[in-house]
Amino acid sequence: MTGRIEVVRAGALTTVQDAGRGGWAHLGVPRAGALDAPSHRLTNRLAGNPADAAVLETTVTGCAVRPDRPVVAVVGGAPCRVTVDGRPVAWGAPVRVPAGAVLDAGPATRGLRSYVAFGGGLLPEPVLGSRSADLLSGLGPAPLRDGDVLPFGHGVPQPVAVDALPWPAVPEVLVLPVRLGPRHAWFTDEALRTLTTAAYRVSPQSNRIGLRTEGPALERARAGELPSEGMVLGAVQVPPDGRPVVFLNDHPTTGGYPVVGVVSEPALAAAAQAAAGTLVRFVRAGG
């Protein structure tokens, strides 16, 4: 028999995320999944779950939930104050939550996104092999609202015993290695120098679809527009305002603005935790 958690406080944006639904881009379906993949995996490991189990991904303000049976829970990712029925408990470590108690993951003190794992994993109905919410296509469970109820499975009877674990740090400066192409020839040589030497900052308009930047515009060497073509995770697309946008997990699978380069996937976890105003530097990757 599965348990249920009731959403007491949904927060600004809390979604269910797992490892994502890869392999459907040819049908226009983005990957979705946890933006900070290392934190997602580590949170699950501490809860005794498979690495790809579904968890809650909160944004800035955290969330609060009430399970209907005892459960081991872990809050990781962006550091925050964690309480059970108002009593402080550990962040980044397994805690026992009694039936009917309120687990509250507070606002992030650094970074943006915290992850809340429950022993046994969250079990909303999968769509195309994933339980992740996709904000672009609308597939998967909708963003949480107060009063929502989610099922979760049977967890391990004992939490994982560890002394300490190295949680990924929240970046002071977001350094993104970028390989130029496939449309870098659409930009002037000066624009390409600007991309890899200028200081950009994370825009408040960033979201799960893309990390938008504020800074110097990249000048085009060619006018006109491209026919829509395939887009990949980490693509650095340049819209008409000239400010680079780094595509994240909920990105569209096609687009017509030129892609000046691509950021490698391992570097994108830090982008998931970079708050508005964070300094961004693109550095030329080899190859």
User: Is the pLDDT higher at 285 or at 55?
Assistant: 55
pLDDT of residue 287: 55
pLDDT of residue 20 exceeding 60, the answer is yes
Domain ranges (residues) in the chain = 3-152, 173-284
170 falls in which pLDDT band (50, 70, 90)? Answer: confident
Residue 286: which residues within 8 A CB-CB, separation 6 or more?
A: none
Q: Is the pTM of this model over 0.85?
A: yes
User: Is the pLDDT higher at 224 or at 108?
Assistant: 108
Can you tell me the mean pLDDT for 269-285?
96
pLDDT of residue 158: 65
CA 112/CA 114 separation, integer angstroms: 7
Residue 244 and residue 216 in contact, taking contact as beta carbons nearer than 8 Å: no
Give the number of other Cβ atoms within 10 Å of residue 265's Cβ: 11
pLDDT of residue 167: 80
Give the number of other Cβ atoms within 10 Å of residue 227's Cβ: 6
pLDDT of residue 3: 95
122-163 pLDDT per residue, tens: 999 999 999 999 999 999 999 999 999 999 998 766 666 666
Task: Give SS3 for 208.
Answer: coil
Across 22-36, 76-90, 146-160, 228-242, least confident range: 146-160
Distance, C-alpha 132 to centroid of its chain: 11
pLDDT of residue 166: 77
Give the number of other Cβ atoms within 10 Å of residue 57's Cβ: 31
Residue 206 and residue 243 in contact, taking contact as beta carbons nearer than 8 Å: no
The candidate with the shortest Cα–Cα distance to 184, out of 220, 227, 212, is: 220
Helix, strand, coil tally for the chain in percent (to 5) = 10, 35, 55
One-character DSSP codes across 57-89? E--SS-EEEEESS-EEEEEEES-EEEEETTEEE
173-284 to CATH, choices 3.20.20.10, 3.40.50.300, 2.40.100.10, 3.40.50.720: 2.40.100.10
pLDDT of residue 159: 63
CA 268/CA 141 separation, integer angstroms: 24
**At 41, phi and psi to the nearest 5?**
-65, -40
pLDDT of residue 164: 65
pLDDT of residue 222: 92
Mean pLDDT of the chain: 94
% of residues, the chain, pLDDT over 70:
97
Give the number of other Cβ atoms within 10 Å of residue 231's Cβ: 20
pLDDT of residue 154: 86
169 falls in which pLDDT band (50, 70, 90)? Answer: confident
pLDDT of residue 171: 87
Determine whether 286 is exposed, middle or buried from the number of CB atoms within 10 Å of its CB (0-12, 13-18, 19+): exposed
The CA–CA distances, whole Å, from 192 to 175, 179, 261, 284 equal: 16, 11, 10, 10
Task: Give SS3 for 234.
Answer: coil
pLDDT of residue 160: 64
94 falls in which pLDDT band (50, 70, 90)? Answer: very high
Which DSSP category does 126 fall into? P
The CA–CA distances, whole Å, from 64 to 46, 92, 196 equal: 20, 16, 41
pLDDT of residue 212: 98
